[in-house]
Every structure is written in C-alpha cells, then in structure tokens.
C-alpha cells in the first residue's frame, strides 16, 4: 500500500547549493519528515544568477528537481499528495502594480519581494546579460533578489505535473505563530521557529527528532525549517488553510488558518526539549530553565553560572 507524502520546496538557485526539499508524512497525528540526505541520489545543485536568466537552464533544473522527487517517492514507496513551494508560481499580471497576495502581505506587516511582470522580467534579464557582457561581477548583477523567481516559475510548472502545487511563504507562517519573531538568520532563531511549528505538527519532540533534522534535506538549518514549514502547509486540509490574495485569479499565498492555530491542541506546549542541548526535557516549560542552564546544559559556553544563564536567556527566552 502506497504511503502519502507532502512536499515542501524552499526554492533556491545558488551555485554549489543543493535545493532544500522536505518530504513529510502524517503518522498518528504528527508530521514526520523522511530522511533523504543518505539516499543514493541527491537534490540537484543550483546554477547561480549568471545562468538563471537563461530559460533552458531553468527548465533543465526544474526537470532535475522533478526527477529527484520522483526518485525519493519511489524509494519510499510513496505518492506525492501536494507540494508547497516557497516562490511565486508565475509573473505578476501586467494589469497590476503589485500582486494581490503581496499587497495583502505588506498590509499585514509581512515584507516580501515584489514579483515583476513578464515584460519587466524580460527587461531584467537583458540588464543582467548586458552587465555580464561588460565584465560585471556576478555578485553585483541587477535585481539579484528577484532572479531566483525565474527558477521558481519553471519548478512550479514541472512539479504541477506530479501533484497539486501551492504557493507558500514560510515567513508568513511563522509570523502567524510568532508575530515579533526576529529574522531567521539570527542566532538560534531557526530553532525557535521550528519549536513554534512543532506545537502544531508534533515534530520535533525528542532528542532523536532533533538529530534527524540534519538528514531531512539539503541546506542550512533555516533552509530546512523553511522547507518543513512549506510541507506543513501542503499537508493541511482546505478547511485548515487561509490565503493572502485572491483565489479566483490564482494570485494567492496559502497559510495556516487562524482558526486552526486557535483550536488545534498544542502538542509540545509544556513538555519541551531544551533548545540548547536538545537532551533535557522540561516537564513544564519554562519552569526550571535557570537551574538547568546554570548547572547541566551542554549546549552553552563555559563560564560562571550567571554567564551561562545570561547566554540561555539571550538566546532562547
């Protein structure tokens, strides 16, 4: 009997960086990722901003990603049910100055990069080609923070041939859980984000789960958390989802519904694994954090008891 999996894709096209893709399945009310880092095949590498303006490279990259997903599903005997992609699925309509979804995200205080229209992307790709032809550095190409969307468009088209695709935005997910969360690149922030998500997914919940995190996809920890967050949205039922944007025009970003977040039992609310050492389990978080930090936590720097408590407080409270 085939297993059902939901997939999260954190779109990237950086050179020598494998694209982070997480596969999850529902087990007894928990959303468990499948380990993929040690399989006999790996997610493809990106080709960088020098080549992302060339359609054929993006098309080939998207096909490699599709084949990788098919290989993983075959390995685990799984059927992909839905895919969450952290990328716009298509260029902005030329009739709009902003996508409807992006305007609503901005109005909610959630910053996102503006998606260009097709004519604007044509102009952008010509600018990049001229820049490179004149000897400009790849690191200084114009519109660098939008070029990755060109890869995202082709990836979404290819993956839509194997399962329904939803556009997701992990930053919007986490802002619903933690309105004042610091940027994900901050020290310790990805752990905090994952712990917030785990209250609704039930994973990670044990030291063994935290060790599995390194094996669920390529990329840094914040890449893995973003991909897992995308897979979480893909796994939710229609009644558990809301949108920024307009469904009828397919200009939408899908997020967990406020109703889900207010009524879902919080699976890890009290019994929490220490975010520093991932070994000690608090019976009722955050009670007892100071004694644990002062005397026993292996995830803190050496120092006096007060220095260790100050470090724990700064990073996690």
Global pTM? 0.84
Q: Who contacts 265 (Cβ-Cβ below 8 Å, separation ≥6)?
A: none
Q: Is 191 in contact with 159 (CB distance < 8 Å)?
A: no
Q: Who contacts 146 (Cβ-Cβ below 8 Å, separation ≥6)?
A: 113, 114, 115, 116, 124
pLDDT tens digits for range 239-267: 999 999 999 999 999 999 999 998 876 66
CA distances from 118 to 66, 68, 89, 90, 93 (A): 24, 28, 12, 9, 8
Measured distance CA(192)–CA(209) in Å, rounded = 15
pLDDT tens digits for range 75-113: 999 999 999 999 999 999 999 999 999 999 999 999 999
Q: Is 83 in contact with 159 (CB distance < 8 Å)?
A: yes
Other beta carbons less than 10 A from residue 1's beta carbon: 3
- For CA atoms 201, 205, 210, 211, the dihedral sign is negative
CA distances from 123 to 71, 116, 126, 285 (A): 37, 10, 5, 53
Q: What is the DSSP letter of 69?
A: H
What the block records as the tokens of 160 is 């839509």
What the block records as the tokens of 136 is 């400009």
Measured distance CA(226)–CA(232) in Å, rounded = 10
Averaged pLDDT for residues 128-153: 95
pLDDT of residue 270: 45
Measured distance CA(278)–CA(214) in Å, rounded = 13
pLDDT tens digits for range 14-54: 998 999 999 999 998 899 999 999 999 999 999 999 999 99
Q: How confident is the model at residue 268 (pLDDT cuts 50, 70, 90)?
A: low
Q: Is 21 in contact with 68 (CB distance < 8 Å)?
A: yes
């Amino acid at each position: 009997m085939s297993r059902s999996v939901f997939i999260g894709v954190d779109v990237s096209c950086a050179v020598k960086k494998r694209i982070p893709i997480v596969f999850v399945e529902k087990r007894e009310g928990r959303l468990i990722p499948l380990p993929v880092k040690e399989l006999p095949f790996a997610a493809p590498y990106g080709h960088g901003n020098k080549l992302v303006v060339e359609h054929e490279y993006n098309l080939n990259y998207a096909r490699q990603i599709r084949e990788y997903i098919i290989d993983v599903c075959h390995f685990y005997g799984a059927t992909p049910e839905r895919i969450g992609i952290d990328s716009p699925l298509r260029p902005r309509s030329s009739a709009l100055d902003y996508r409807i979804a992006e305007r609503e995200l901005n109005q909610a205080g959630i910053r996102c990069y503006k998606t260009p229209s097709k004519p604007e992307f044509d102009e952008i790709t010509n600018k990049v080609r001229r820049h490179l032809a004149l000897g400009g550095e790849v690191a200084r190409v114009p519109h660098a923070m939008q070029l990755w969307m060109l890869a995202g468009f082709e990836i979404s088209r290819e993956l839509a041939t194997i399962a329904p695709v939803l556009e997701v935005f992990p930053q919007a997910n986490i802002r619903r859980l933690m309105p004042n969360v610091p940027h994900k690149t901050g020290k310790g922030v990805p752990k905090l984000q994952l712990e917030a998500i785990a209250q609704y997914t039930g994973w990670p919940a044990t030291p063994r789960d935290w060790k599995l995190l390194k094996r669920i996809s390529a990329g840094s920890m914040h890449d893995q958390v973003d991909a897992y967050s995308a897979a979480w949205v893909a796994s939710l039922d229609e009644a558990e989802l809301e949108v920024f944007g307009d469904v009828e025009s397919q200009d939408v970003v899908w997020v967990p519904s406020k109703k889900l977040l207010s009524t879902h039992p919080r699976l890890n609310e009290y019994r929490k694994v220490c975010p520093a050492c991932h070994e000690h389990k608090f019976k009722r978080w955050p009670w007892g954090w100071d004694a644990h930090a002062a005397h026993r936590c292996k995830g803190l720097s050496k120092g006096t008891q007060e220095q260790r408590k100050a470090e724990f407080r700064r990073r996690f409270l």
